[in-house]
Each structure stands twice: as structure tokens, then as C-alpha cells.
Structure 1
Amino acid sequence: MRAQDMLAQRFETHRGHLRAVAYRMLGSLTEADDAVQEAWLRLARHDTDEVENLAGWLTTVVSRICLDMLRTRATRREEPIDLLTELRDSAYDSDPEHEAVLIDSVGRALLVVLDTLGPDERVAFVLHDLFAVPFDQIAPIVGRTTATTKKLASRARQRTQGGTTSTATELAAQRQVVEAFLTAARGGDLDALLAVLAPDVIRVADPAALPSGMSAVIRGAQSVAKETVLLQRRSQVAALALVNGAVGILVAPRGKLLLALTVTVRDDRVAGYEVIADPARLRELDLAVLPQ
């Protein structure tokens, strides 16, 4: 067997890991595959006799590629995909199979929160907290000292955890109600929705969040429940998260935030919620992953 073929075989044994690392850093399967392919091209040009730990070398290379892509994206203020066209035009269809598996493995809400981090913070957090790479190995990738790299990951960790004035008991109670609402929405279960919605519930929404002809404000459990069933597909790409310190819902096709729901829970029912779609308003939200 030719040396290049043997090298390709060795690379393929690491492709899944590299793809997972790149996806968590970039949040786009297409870009992750591009990063992995670039890592292969660099390996093919490199003197492999100098590589003692191929897995570690490839992880470092793909991380540097991802960091460059994140920095370029931040400079241009670009998303990896055009959310307002491609995602809206997809009408909340199910994620492609392979991407859905990756999203499920890392968590849809975490992918959204990772998008709020700076490039260096994101790389340091992903490598250390999600893949247990030591800080002294991450430091050269981000071009910082080990101590500074620890601070980057710590800041990112704090961002992902967020802050709330609610007690653990209050959060648990909110979560139970909002989770019941989301479960009923996913199943299109009208009776379950009516059971979790307060009789006088109010739904408010940005016009951009609604199909043409729907009112920005609707009132009453029957009306809200019927609309929720009508928009059932949205719930398939939704996840619970902390939104401004309370339990809310993120609608994130392919792991990219499109809508956020701030939910008011009262007397163990959903008393109201607002659907936020305006990009400027979405950027102002304090988003975090729910504690386990």
C-alpha cells in the first residue's frame, strides 16, 4: 500500500472526532467539513515523521483552522448561513440527519449560547470543557499564556451558565411548566396545551415571527393552543434555556437562533409569553444553558 493511502486511512480514523470538534466550534456542518478537509490537506503536505501524536496534532490543526474562520466571521459580522433567508425558507423543516445527531449530542441551546462567545473564548471552552484538552495545549492555539487561556474558558463558562435571581426551587418549578408546554407543542396535543396554559394567557410576538395574517397579540388558552398546534413544526427545533434569567425557549433550526420565547409562569401554568424574532432584540437577550 502506498504511503499516501496509509496516511489517508489513519486520517479517516480521526475524522469523526475532528468533525465533532469543528462543529462545536463553528456551529455549521458545512464549515466543519471544510475545516476537516483543510486539516487533511495540511497533513498530506506535512512530514508525518515529525508527528508523534497524530490525534493531538490533527486536533490542534483543525482548532487553528476553526479559530481563523471564527475570527474572520467576527470581523465581517457574518453568520455561517443566511438565517433570514435559508432558515426561514426552510419553514422549520427537520434538521438533516447527520447534523441533527450532532446537535442532539451537544445540545441545541448550548450551540446557540456558544455563538455569543468571542472566537478565542469559544475555542478555549470547547477544547477544555467539551473535549478535556489541557490548557497548556490550548494556549499555543489561541496565542495566549496558559493562565490567560484558563481565564478565557472561565469567562465562557460563566456566559454559558448565565445568571438568575431565581432560586433553584423556582427554576425547577418554571422548568416543569415550560417543559410541559414544549412537550405538548411538539406533540400537537391540544388538550395538554390547554392544561398547561392559563385561561387568560397572552401571546405577544414580533411581526417577523409570524406567518402573514396572524395577529401580534392573541389572548385566551383556546386561541393560543390552536395557534401552537398550527405552528407545531417550530417546536421540533426548539430547546429549553435560560432567557434573561428565567426558563424560556429557543427555536434554533440547525443550532442557529431564530426565535426566543420569554415565558411567564404563574400558579403552575403559562400565563404569557413573548416571541422575539428581531435580530437586534435577540442579540440583547441574556442566554444561558439550563443547569442540570
Structure 2
Amino acid sequence: MKSAKRLAAPLQQQPRGLPRRFAIGYSLLIICALMFWPALATAQTAQPAQDDALVIPAGKTHTGSVATLNQPIVVEGVVEGDVTSVTGSIVVRGAIEGDVVSLFGNVIFEPQATADGNVMAATGSVVLPEGAMIAAGGTVYNGNLDGRGVASILPGTGNQPIDFAAQLVLSITLGILAVIVATLLSFIWPRSISGGARAISLAPGRAMALSVIWLVLTLIAVGVIATILIFSLVGLAILPVLLLAAQIPYLVGIAAAGQVVGERFGFHGPSAVAVGSSVLVVPCVGLAMISLPAAFGLFYALAGIGIGGMFMLRAAVVHRNSASY
């Protein structure tokens, strides 16, 4: 009870309005969002490259890698290296003897096109029609989380849509893993998870606002780091690890949010986390049967509230420590 009061005091003593550093941060976020929004919007539908594309003509062989920042690429000949575009789509009509990566665009193969390496469309679609060939050791990373996109990261499925049963098993497995990890985190950091849960109960609106800020910052950070990595020699191999690491805060968040829900059912500690996170995850699993993007969005929204609570806990601790000096 005393710890809850100590947490509540700093939260309630914070001045109203936005401090200057937050105003600057909001301005930077808006600028970055305006910069990346056109690329994110155009990456959702697979369309051929525009007229200003960088073209490798048919019958020509380009030795070395090809990379653009804001320009589509059309490969009609042969590229002896990697092909990378940050915000442009890539159309492959010939052969690429390396990796094919588009961060905020689509990768579109036409029949008879070939690639000897990995293929990635981080936020868009990989279109791989019948007749197009990817090397046996190559992997397709499809940013669109539809059935075809999920199938592209499952072993032995290639780029074909998964059936309902496989999608159900995948959704349930991910849901169970999320609950297990959240419960384990409550055993490892019981005070932090409980403190974050108390912060959410005291100021749920502020927790939701902080969750939105965290999401935007995460997207910007992952986008910048991914852009750097895909231009490096080992970037494509590290990028999936980076994307997995970005999920860790959301597992902490689902633990904190789950404890709030679990305590409403009369549970406490790790038991509350296990019960509450299960209650939060079940709708996500059900929604995954209809739309995987919507399911992931719901999970991130719920877990983001927990992240906001953890931020408020940290701010309260810093405020209390600074006041003691």
C-alpha cells in the first residue's frame, strides 16, 4: 500500500501540459512521419515501378550491387550482386545473382525471373508468380502479414498461402508463447511488473498516450537501423534478429497490462499476469483467423498500454530519487 502511494505521488505531482523536450520530440516525430508516410502508403499495394526507375536493360550485365534511396529499380538483364531500394519497388524480369531487398516498397518477380539470394519486402509484398525462381538456399521475407506473407517465413511453404488449420495452429502457438514469456517476466522482475500495473491503474490515459509515442519511436528506430543494415554485407541476416528484439518490450508490456486485468479477477503477482495476459491474448488469436494484421495491431495496442505504464513507473522512480537530493 505504501509503495502504491509513493508511486501515485510523483504521478500526481507532475505539471500539466507538455514539457519543452516533449514538444520538440513531437515535432520531430511529425516530421519523420511526413517523410515516411508516402513510402509506407505506396508499399501496401503491389504496383510496377514508375517511369523514373533505374533500369538494367535486357541483354546487359551489371557487375556489382545496385542500390537506390528513393527510386524504383527494374532488372531486365543480369545483376551480379545485390539489388536494394529503400523506398522504391523492385521489378525483376531478368536474373539477380544476390539478395533483393526493398524496405518501404514491393519486390515483384515476373515469370522466368530468377534470384540467387534472399528476397525481402520489409513493409510491402513479395510477388512471386509461377515460373519465377528463387535459389534453393534463399529465403523470402514478406512484410505483408496476410496468409501469403506468413507462409513465406514458414519452412517448406515457399510463398504460397497457408491454409486455415496452419494459420490456427500458428496463432495459438504465438498466443501461448506470449502468455508463457509474460508470466516468466513477472517472476524475473516482479516489482517492476507490479509497479507498471499500478501506474496503468492510476493513469490509464497517460499510459495509452505513451504507448503511441513508443510505437512511433520504435518504427522510426527500426526503419533507420534497417536502412543501414540492408546496405551492409550482413544486413539481411541480422534484420530478422532486430525485428525479433523489437518485440521484447511488448512482451514486458503485455505482462504489466495483464496483471491489471488479472487483479480484477482477484489474482495477484504472477498468477494475475498469467490470467490477465491470457484474457488479452485470446481476442488476438481469434482475430488472427480473420485478419493477421489486425490481430498483431490489437496485440501491440494492448501491450503498448503496459509499456506506457512501465515508462510512468520509471519516471516516478526518477522523480522520487531526484526529490530526495
Greater length-normalized contact order (CA 8 Å, ≥ 6 residues apart) = 1
Larger Rg: 2
TM-score, normalised via structure 1 length: 0.25
